[in-house]
Amino acid sequence: MGNRATVIFTNGERYSPAVYLHWNGGPESVYAFLEELDRREVRADAEYEAARFVQIVGEATDSGGENGLSLGIVNGPKSDSPEELEAVQTDHGDNGLYLINRNTGEFRRFLESGSNWKLEELTPETVAAEFREAETHSYRAEFRKFFQALSEHKKVEATT
């Protein structure tokens, strides 16, 4: 079916458009994409970070042969209230929703629970443990190699 998730960036006051991932929505991928944002020194408003996140995910998924339905953007929430987050028109599916504030380093995670499909927030301790586990996943090394090779390729293209 997929490995779905929704990623939203915030600065605490404003919320980005919601980025829908049909594939690569697991913590091992999402945290690797966020690491690439850091490597590229992307820091700005929530909307700009979301746009660059989409670019990074697109670069990675285009290289893997996934079809064009693996990445989408919809209107984001107006706040982080449960009602606003649940109203985001994506399928939170397998991996729920990530709410990222890179200015403060706060990563919040919400998963759908039970048959009512309501989002429930994971504890900060659970998110931290998930992050540590994701850092050891083989995807991290694969993504690092991919983005390093992509950077080197772009440098070569720029000089020719």
CB atoms within 10 A of CB 1: 7
Q: Provide DSSP, 18-86.
A: EEEESSS-SHHHHHHHHHHHHHTT--S-HHHHHHHHHHHHHHHHHHTT--GGGEEEE---SSSSHHHHH
Give dist(CA 68, CA 71) in Å, integer.
Answer: 7
At 142, which amino acid appears? E
Give dist(CA 139, CA 43) in Å, integer.
Answer: 24
Per-residue model confidence (pLDDT) at position 143: 87
pTM comes to 0.88
Give dist(CA 143, CA 33) in Å, integer.
Answer: 8
At residue 16, the 3 state secondary structure works out as: coil
Mean pLDDT of residues grouped by 10 in the chain (160 residues)?
88 95 92 93 90 93 65 95 91 89 93 80 95 89 88 71
Q: Domains of the chain: which residue ranges?
A: 5-159
Per-residue model confidence (pLDDT) at position 31: 94
